[in-house]
């Protein structure tokens, strides 16, 4: 029987600062929002319909979904942000007896497909799981001596983890679970509490993911999703693009309409260069990098493993493992630090908390409409809010709120030469 797929695209995306204005699944990668890549993947599956839960005020995602073609698609609204459990219950009347619940950043359709293997043979609900070496960050499955799942421990303390098997965020659920969820008090963890109770009473099948399941909680999570999309992108040169005979292109590269690859530039794929984008003289675009439509690397820019948003201009410098939003202006000599001096994991400040990224290479995360003066450096893991201005010769060592002017104070002296 064809299954219904439900995607949770409501919520505030507050931990996704500085790209939190719309739902995080609307972040653009290679000319298309993340949710668009996910829906494209679902078209390859034999499914009944896709239901997307969004918030009423998010007009950006609503407009995109209303114009999406190729799937039977239904938009429903969670009126208040009261957690995942409430989101599911808000569409109870739209749910089939069995349905798959997941997230709109699952661009790899195999994340959904693996749950359907063997359906009908064993009964019960099915939970996608994945092994982790950081169990204190996830909901972890508790097992009895026979390997039967008996509960879920949310973010256990280090050294007290019941296992290293985490919930991966994709579920095959049924009406019996929904009935239990409805009886569970409303809270941020209503869904997890109900699931924990269900494990104690009913049959549950754990399904191990065959490929890595991607997260999208923090802005740096976009980098892994970017890599997945780029590595499956079709090599293409669209009409009107110009490639200098002195430019060097290696590997699989998508070059959009009217894009310009200038003299002595180097492109090392996989890479995406959107329409009207420019890779200027002596610039390098390498190792899974993306230039969205109209983005420009002017001259002598080294851009690696990064995303440069629509219509953003970078005069010169180094951009490594960095995410830059739309319509930015970054002056000459711009540099992102992307590694700690001790090469340890990089942390970032998120909503007042220090969060380890799990990455040893991470540059800056820079919002939309940011203006940066000449000779500016951004330290690893720093987040700069949209519409901010960074003064020349500044070193950005802490997060910058939106609509802020940041500059490093310097004392200059002039002495007579004797």
* Cβ neighbours, 10 Å, residue 74: 15
Task: Look up the CATH number of domain 234-406.
Answer: 2.160.10.10
Quick one: DSSP state of residue 149? E
Given the structure tokens 């039967």, which residue do they identify? 148
To which residue do tokens 């970078």 refer? 314
Q: How high is the pLDDT of residue 120?
A: 64
Q: What is the DSSP letter of 321?
A: S
**What pLDDT shows up at residue 347?**
97
| C-alpha torsion 137→141→144→147, nearest 10 | -120
Low-confidence ranges of the chain (pLDDT < 70): 1, 120-123
Where, residue-wise, is CATH 3.90.550.10 in the chain?
4-217
Query: What is the number of other CB atoms lying within 10 angstroms of the CB of residue 220?
Result: 21
Could you report the per-residue pLDDT of 327-336, keeping only the tens digit for each? 999 999 999 9
Specify whether the CB–CB gap between 392 and 334 falls below 8 A.
no
pLDDT of residue 330: 98
Residue 168's pLDDT is what? 95
Phi, psi of 89 (to 5 degrees): -65, -25
Tokens found for residue 88: 């599911």
Q: Coil, strand or helix: which one is 370? A: coil
DSSP letter, residue 185: P
Rounded Cα distance between 116 and 320, Å, is 39
Output the CATH code of domain 4-217.
Answer: 3.90.550.10
The predicted-structure confidence for 154-207, as pLDDT tens digits, reads as follows 889 988 999 999 999 999 999 999 999 999 999 888 999 999 999 988 889 999
Tokens of 16: 């996704």
Outline where DSSP puts E strands in 65-124: 73-77, 98-102
Q: CATH 2.160.10.10 in the chain, residues?
A: 234-406
Could you give the CA distance from residue 142 to residue 323 in angstroms, rounded to a whole number? 37
User: Do the bridges between strand 98-102 and strand 165-174 make them parallel or antiparallel, or are there none, so unpaired?
Assistant: antiparallel
């Amino acid at each position: 029987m064809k299954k219904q797929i439900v995607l949770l695209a409501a919520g505030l995306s507050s931990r996704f600062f500085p790209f939190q204005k719309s739902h995080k699944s609307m972040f653009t990668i290679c000319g298309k929002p993340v949710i668009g890549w996910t829906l494209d993947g679902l078209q390859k599956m034999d499914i009944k319909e896709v239901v997307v839960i969004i918030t009423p005020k998010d007009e950006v995602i609503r407009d995109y979904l209303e114009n999406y073609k190729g799937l039977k698609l239904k938009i429903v609204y969670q009126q208040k942000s009261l957690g995942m459990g409430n989101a599911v219950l808000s569409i109870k009347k739209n749910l089939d007896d069995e349905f798959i619940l997941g997230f709109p950043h699952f661009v790899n359709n195999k994340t959904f497909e693996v749950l359907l293997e063997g359906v009908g043979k064993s009964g019960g609900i099915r939970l996608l799981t994945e092994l982790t070496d950081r169990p204190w960050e996830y909901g972890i499955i508790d097992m009895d001596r026979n390997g039967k799942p008996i509960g879920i421990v949310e973010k256990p303390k280090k050294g007290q983890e019941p296992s290293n098997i985490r919930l991966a965020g994709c579920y095959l659920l049924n009406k019996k679970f929904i009935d239990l969820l409805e009886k569970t008090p409303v809270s941020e963890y209503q869904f997890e509490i109900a699931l924990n109770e269900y494990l104690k009473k009913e049959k549950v099948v754990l399904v191990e993911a065959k490929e890595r399941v991607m997260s999208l909680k923090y802005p740096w999570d976009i980098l892994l999703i970017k890599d997945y999309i780029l590595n499956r992108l079709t090599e293409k040169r669209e009409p009107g693009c110009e490639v200098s005979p002195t430019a060097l292109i290696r590997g699989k590269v998508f070059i959009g309409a009217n894009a310009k690859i200038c003299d002595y530039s180097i492109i090392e794929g996989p890479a995406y260069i959107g329409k009207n984008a420019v890779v200027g003289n002596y610039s390098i675009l390498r190792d899974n990098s993306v230039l969205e439509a109209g983005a420009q690397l002017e001259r002598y820019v080294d851009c690696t493993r990064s995303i440069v948003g629509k219509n953003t201009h970078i005069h010169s410098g180094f951009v490594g493992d960095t995410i830059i939003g739309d319509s930015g202006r970054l002056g000459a000599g711009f540099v992102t630090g992307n590694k700690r001096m001790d090469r340890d994991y990089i942390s970032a400040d998120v909503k007042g908390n220090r969060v380890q990224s799990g990455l040893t290479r991470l540059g800056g995360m820079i919002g939309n409409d940011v203006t940066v003066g000449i000779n500016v450096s951004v330290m690893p893991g720093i987040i700069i809010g949209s519409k901010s201005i960074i003064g020349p010769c500044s070193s950005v060592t802490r997060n910058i709120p939106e609509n802020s002017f940041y500059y490093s104070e310097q004392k200059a002296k002039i002495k007579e030469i004797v």
